[in-house]
Amino acid sequence: MQGKRPSCIPNETCYTETHVLWITKKNKKHSNETRCRTCKNQISFFFCHYHLLHLPKKRNILQQFNHYFFINAMDFFNFSCYSPPMQGIYLDNASTSWPKAPLVAQEVSSFINECGCNIARGGYERAYEAAAKVDACRAQLAELFTCSKPRNVAFTMNVTQALNTLIVGLFTKDDHILVSGMEHNAVMRPLFQHHIPYSVIPCDIQGRLQLSAIESLIQHNTKAILLTQASNVCGTILPIAEVAQICKSKGLLCLVDSAQGSPYESLSMDTMGLDAIAFTGHKGLLGPQGIGGLILNDALSHTIRPLVAGGTGSISHEFAMPSFMPDHLEAGTQNLPGIIGLSSGLQYHLAHADEIQAHEKRLTEHLLEYFLSDNRIKVIGLASAEGRTPVISVDFTSYDNAQVAFQLQTLAGIETRVGLHCAPLAHKTLQTFPRGTVRFSMGYANTNDEIDTTIDACKEALHQLGELS
């Protein structure tokens, strides 16, 4: 379809993130049935799937063409020269873990089919049993994060909602907070949306937080430091314990987004003196999507304003939300199947934590060793598995990263994430904006053979792309 540039795509956007491709026709004599200019395969447009992925990044590049045509990336699958990928190698665990812990699906299904009732509403045995299972999950989370009061664990639908609850419930436009240079949009967008002033604590090009810069950024109205436990882009782990000490000495709240850091790096509410931890259930904790939450200390549990108000099954004669936890932050029916699934994931993790961590570290070291040895690949972040989660971002410097990611899926079914990873601030810190990176994130179910296959596929993809360029 011929048309002008879609208004939904910003001028400077990274098209590998939006999955929108642009192709051109120089004049009207060309028919839709033609051959790839490079490999001559019969296709519907000018380029086969190897060559359609070189995406222009700037408007001034687009302006050199007379007409623009755009297609969705899924249309690649209609090309006659496309061959379906083989069975996948899932290396996108930083987006969501897969497969989930062994009994998660069974426990979710069992709850829906055999219990299925609500909690804090019905006065019957099944409702009490369901409530006991939810409280058991709170206790598991309290154990994992070393929180002495499980009732201060409140569930949300994900870590993004938990972070929104913190930001909207604690701060106003008259306050000021500090964030790190590695933050995800789950932090940056709520701050922007609600006009809450902030300053960025700088990180170096490897993602390491510059602790020495914090004191000079503190203002008279600074209330907190809110930072990620680990980068979702490059895996660098931030020094939470040291930041917590600074917060204590300066009278600031210390709030942590644990989505990418837990359970790879320990995080303790009581030992570290943290005020709040926002967590998600569907990544390292191996639970299902749609469940996350907050863990608060006593002081914060009494001062935070609920993001959502509604029925709780308690204090129903009043319009005000209950003042006690967890009801204070848990309005409406909760995602009980998700909580039950998370409990199963936590049980598996708590039983196998050391084994899982050692396994994922070995896989990370293996893949990282190859990336560091190939001068066609630039590793983003630390050059070691120490101080990082099982996440590696790389830049295939001579090629479009989306093109390489597509080749990896085509050659070996390797599933990665390419683009800006919902973290433009982090990419600016790492000097990979707006180009983005290809992210490989390992999980407990990956094998050494899969990493070997990934390495071989990278070599073959770069060889093929080198021949075609």
pLDDT tens, position by position, 410-442? 999 999 999 999 999 999 999 999 999 999 999
Per this entry, what is the length of the chain?
469
CA dist., res. 341 & res. 159, Å (int): 16
pLDDT class of 18 with cuts at 50, 70, 90: very low
Any domain includes 461: yes
Task: Give the Å distances, CA to CA, from 313 to 153, 305, 323, 444.
Answer: 17, 19, 13, 39
Q: Are residues 306 and 168 located together in one domain of the fold?
A: yes
What tokens were used for 443? 């999980």
Mark out the alpha helices in 218-335 (DSSP H runs).
240-250, 269-272, 298-303
Decide if 447 is inside a domain: yes
Asked whether residue 84 is assigned to any structural domain, the reply reads: no
**Are both 437 and 310 inside the same structural domain?**
no
- Whether 6 is covered by a domain: the verdict is no
pLDDT digits (tens, 9 = 90+) for 274-331: 999 999 999 999 999 999 999 999 999 999 999 999 999 999 999 999 999 999 999 9
Choose the final residue of a domain: 302, 321, 348.
348
Same domain? 109 vs 93? no
d(CA 202, CA 61): 32
Q: Would residue 265 be called left, alpha or beta, if left means φ above 0 and alpha means ψ between -120 and 50 degrees?
A: beta
**How far apart are alpha carbons 439 and 417 in whole angstroms?**
5
In a domain, 217, yes or no: yes
- Poorest-confidence range of 119-128, 168-177, 190-199? 119-128
- pLDDT reported for residue 404: 96
Q: Which of 299, 323, 348 is the last residue of a domain?
A: 348
How far are the Cα atoms of 313, 412, 459 from residue 86, in angstroms, in the given order? Answer: 50, 6, 17
Q: Do 235 and 272 fall into the same domain?
A: yes
Instruction: Name the residue with tokens 């296959």.
Output: 453
Q: Residue 307 sits in which domain range?
A: 104-348
Cβ pair 313, 333 in contact under 8 A: no
Which pLDDT does position 86 carry in this prediction? Answer: 54
Whether the model pTM is above 0.85: no
Q: Both 93 and 195 in a single domain?
A: no
The count of domains in the chain is 3
Of the residues 78, 113, 129, the one at which a domain ends: 78
Report d(CA 206, CA 177) in Å as an integer: 23
| pLDDT (mean) for 127-152 | 96
Q: Which of 443, 372, 428, 416 is nearest to 231 (CA)?
A: 428
Asked if the structure places residue 29 within a domain, the reply is yes
Residues 318 and 396 in one domain: no
Same domain, 152 and 195: yes
Check which CATH number belongs to the domain holding 430 and give it.
3.90.1150.10
The whole-number pLDDT of residue 256 equals: 98
User: What is the reported pLDDT for 52?
Assistant: 37
SS3 126: helix
How is residue 132 written in tokens? 């006991």
| Four-point Cα dihedral 90, 96, 101, 106, nearest 10 | -110
Residue 330 lies in a domain: yes
Percent of the chain with pLDDT over 90: 78
Return the closest-CA partner of residue 272 out of 284, 260, 261.
261
In 58-184, which residue ranges form alpha helices assigned H by DSSP? 59-62, 104-114, 125-144, 159-170
Q: How far apart are CA 235 and CA 232, in angstroms?
A: 6
Angstrom distance (rounded) from CA 426 to CA 214? 18
CATH, residue 252:
3.40.640.10
Say how far apart CA 228 and CA 240 lie, in whole Å.
Answer: 9
Asked if 210 and 114 sit in the same domain, the reply is yes
94-107 burial by CB neighbour count: b if 16+ within 10 A, else e?
bbbbeebbeebeeb
Residues 375 and 259 in one domain: no
417 and 387 together in one domain: yes
Beta bridge partners of 377: 396
**23-33 average pLDDT score:** 35
Are residue 125 and residue 262 in the same domain, yes or no? yes
400 assigned to some structural domain: yes
Same domain, 435 and 286: no
